[in-house]
Amino acid sequence: MDFVNEDIDNYAYDHTQIEDDLLWRLELETYDQLEIPQMLTGRIEGRLLKMLAQLVEAKRIIEIGTFGGYSALSMAEALPDSGYLITCEMDPVAIQFAQRFFDESPHGKKIVLKEGPALDTLKTLTGSFDMAFIDADKENYLNYYEALLPLMRPGGLIVVDNVLWGGRVLNPQETSDHAIHRFNHRVKDDHRVEKVMLTIRDGVSLLRKR
């Protein structure tokens, strides 16, 4: 859900750096071939992720929720050749789709796609990461956060998607509504991170580890 007026949103889209042809094709094919294509982050959030990765001078990034690979490839653009991004996904259709684009991209060799439940993958990792992007099942947001925080370097950035959850955080009804609201509430009082919640797209929180 977008929280800003559609014309304003289109204006922001038109005045944001254009993605490369491969990402554009990935977006078109996502809408053609994958279920729930609206899950794709898209131009504004993708360029934001790349810029944030540049600003923290990321060399190691972890992503929870690959889907078609749009956000992974966006962040990988910012990595030096010696850097890498680990992305977690459990849907075999999405994995096959994303890997096809990683193989085609000059940045794909920096991406390691880990198949299976993300919490299992996180248990196998050791620090330290410069940036993380949480964008998978909402019920596990707090679990992802707690598993990620020890893996982040001081000053490392955790970006969290869908923190406004279509506005349902204001009046939580479903399990996922409550999960996101609980996550936001817990993070608000967590002194281990500095935080800002942005009303971009479906809500994006930036959490900087102290």
Ligand X SMILES: C[S@@+](CC[C@H](N)C(=O)[O-])C[C@H]1O[C@@H](n2cnc3c(N)ncnc32)[C@H](O)[C@@H]1O
Tell me which stretch binds ligand X (CB under 6 A): 62-70, 77-85, 189-197, 198-206. Answer: 62-70
The token pair at 69 is 């690979």
Q: Are 64 and 132 in contact (CB under 8 A)?
A: yes
Nearest CB to ligand X, comparing residues 67 and 145:
67
Q: Does 205 bind ligand X (CB under 6 A)?
A: no
Count of positions (residues) in the chain: 210
Q: Does 39 bind ligand X (CB under 6 A)?
A: yes
Phi, psi at residue 67, to the nearest 5°? 50, -125
How many residues of this chain bind ligand X (CB under 6 A)?
18
DSSP class per residue in 71-117: HHHHHHTTS-TT-EEEEEE--HHHHHHHHHHHHHSTTGGGEEEEES-
Q: Which of 43, 61, 68, 79 binds ligand X (CB under 6 A)?
A: 68
Q: Are 158 and 203 in contact (CB under 8 A)?
A: no
Q: Does 141 bind ligand X (CB under 6 A)?
A: no
Q: Which of 65, 108, 156, 203 binds ligand X (CB under 6 A)?
A: 65
Q: Does 29 bind ligand X (CB under 6 A)?
A: no
Pairwise CA distance, residues 90 & 184, whole Å:
25
Q: Does 37 bind ligand X (CB under 6 A)?
A: no
Q: Which of 23, 40, 48, 187 binds ligand X (CB under 6 A)?
A: 40
Rg (CA), the chain: 16
Tell me which stretch binds ligand X (CB under 6 A): 53-61, 84-92, 123-131, 183-191. Answer: 84-92
Give the binding site for ligand X (CB under 6 A).
Answer: 39-41, 65, 67-68, 70-71, 88-91, 94, 117-118, 135-137
